[in-house]
A and B are shown apart, each in its own frame.
Chain A
């Protein structure tokens, strides 16, 4: 029989019962790193991959295949920039390194710090879209009214699923002047 517990077991019950909420509060926070790891593995939410230049040079170029890479840029609310890709799209061979730029203009007469956040769609292409150099890796400081080209060097993995013929890379530009994170 499962039952038949008596009053003495109360000595264990209470501390355990109080421990559970404490641990579960911690678990809520633990979900943050778990989620980030899962996103890295699966490309969830279009988080892109980053590889070193030496790794990139070892990929074989697939001359047979052409993939269209589209670029978009948008501003998070109130971000006081002009922000757009230099070219709307490129035709690329998987395995070959390409570079392009995004152009940003600080519209205000005071210095600003911005952060670009990338996303790739379709989501399952995200982990095949690698960047060796990107303005999104670090925060971007702008002088008052400054206009700047921001470089992006990327390489599409030849393993990209065969049925994907268009990959869209989107950047959202955030104003992080108030909360700079190092």
Chain B
């Protein structure tokens, strides 16, 4: 294999020297790396904002920040974590892995790939610059509901245009992914032979192409309402603020599946490897993913049960939402069935994957509770909702990203990471993430509203616990940075297959893979 690598290097150009390599690159591995680093940096920026929120909420009363800045923090934390961390991390993983998994030499549209990454830093530069503007950063919540969002300072147009840029970036990324999967699969790689990470990204990419433009439309309407005299959402001019919520959540609900479906793919790769069994129910996994994607388009109004919908509307959205539990249940069942009587070992990626299955399910259960329209009136806009979506996003999406990085890091770098510190990272993260988010269920059910910098004294103990969990979880991520850097600088050499039970095209390549892979198409039998 080493001889083969040397030969490939001899024939092909390696990376260009110097820093310009990263600016001008069209190589899927380079761009994947850029996305992942970008995501890691934004993870710490968004995390710092979360720690500002949790510091203020450590005690009742107003101590550290003023309420306006607190609201800016909740808004910016969400925007950064959603558009700057989870989405770029998954696009980065897709860039690195999809061509290697389907046997393609690169992404289908390499130049557009470069562009879709390099838009991101500018989009976020613009968004984060609002923190220093008169009037402060946007403070209306990431959902930007009018009329509140229209009352901000000069930050507002910057926010809208940065959302446009991020939308363009992810639409281009998604088009690239669909084109790669549809057209560049190696001979014999039929749709039903694709690895599940490829399948989930294929479906996610379609969701992105379909709904990001709807968000762009919604925020454009906000922009014209504020500056050009239109009245889409201004009641005085014949518009309706509630309509914004409908348009926003028509984007927003598929968006939350954009944040979770690739995680399903990652976990479906990792669990079979470490259980040393084939994935249980491959085709049902594919159909379940497709069903979840379809259902995501017809459930949006469950985010707004309390706006005053007709009873028939509440019932429709309630039952459609509860229906999502069926394909999701199929997936959880299949993961458990894959582990059943498997020869399991618990390396760090597997720990994160199992942690994902358990804690994502907790978030799923609170999701079913929130789906019930009659009881949602109690939960709406309380910390119960915050607990729910953080359970599916942090020990859900973020844990899946961590699992994916640990799983593929030896493949990317050629070195094994430090298993001991990887496991410590997992256990510390898991303990603190539960300390952080589990008490939020209790204060939420007891009526503590979200997005408020102060609270009634009876919530003090649980909030103090959550804040301790937040700092523990936040600083535990420095272990992750340590493990990644240590792995980059050296370590035990990884074999091509890396993991004993790993199957798939990416494991037939050397570790690290040559700069250009599969210039000769592999044939899948």
Using CB atoms and an 8 Å cutoff, list the residues of chain A in contact with chain B.
1-7, 9-10, 13-14, 17-18, 20-29, 31-32, 35-36, 39, 42-46, 76, 115, 117, 121, 123-124, 172, 174-176, 179, 181
Contact = CB atoms under 8 A, between A and B. Distances in A.
Contacts of A36: 240
B45 interface: no
Contacts of A32: 221, 232, 243, 247
Interface in B222-239: 229, 231-232, 234-238
Interface centre among A17, A26, A29, A175, by most B CB within 10 Å? A17
A31 B229 contact: no
A26 B217 CA distance: 8
Given A28-B218, A43-B310, 9 more contacts: A1-B192, A5-B183, A10-B182, A13-B178, A27-B213, A121-B308, A174-B236, A179-B229, A179-B234
Contact of B209 (A6, A21, A115): A21
B235 A117 contact: yes
B107 to A, nearest CB: 12
A26 B220 CA distance: 12
A29 B217 contact: yes
Interface class of chain B by DSSP: helix
A17 B179 contact: yes
A31 B243 contact: yes
Contacts of B309: 44
A6 B209 CA distance: 22
Nearest to A10: B183
B231 A17 contact: no
A18 B67 CA distance: 43
Contacts of A172: 235
B65 to A, nearest CB: 25
B240 A3 contact: no
Contact of A25 (B189, B193, B213, B308): B213
B171 interface: yes
Contacts of B331: none
Given A1-B192, A17-B175, A124-B310, A24 B214 contact: yes
Contacts of A179: 229, 231, 234, 237
A76 B150 CA distance: 14
B209 A3 contact: no
A18 B235 CA distance: 35
Given A24-B211, A115-B236, A45 B183 contact: no
A20 B308 contact: no
A2 B236 contact: no
Contacts of A121: 308
Contacts of B217: 25-29
B183 A7 contact: yes
A181 B229 CA distance: 9
Nearest to B176: A17
Contacts, number: 122
A37 to B, nearest CB: 12
A18 B236 contact: no
B470 to A, nearest CB: 35
B246 interface: yes
A5 B192 CA distance: 13
B310 A9 contact: no
B240 A27 contact: no
27 contacts: A5-B183, A9-B183, A10-B108, A10-B179, A10-B183, A21-B171, A23-B213, A27-B214, A28-B213, A28-B217, A28-B251, A29-B221, A31-B214, A31-B250, A35-B246, A42-B310, A46-B308, A76-B236, A117-B235, A117-B236, A123-B310, A124-B310, A124-B311, A174-B234, A176-B237, A179-B234, A181-B238
A47 to B, nearest CB: 9
A178 to B, nearest CB: 8
Contacts of B250: 28, 31
Contact of A18 (B175, B242, B247): B175
Given A2-B190, A5-B183, A20 B209 contact: yes
Given A28-B213, A176-B236, A3 B243 contact: no
A109 B252 CA distance: 46
A1 B211 CA distance: 29
Which of B213, B250, B313 is most buried by chain A, counting CB atoms within 10 A of its CB? B213
B185 interface: yes
A180 to B, nearest CB: 9
B416 interface: no
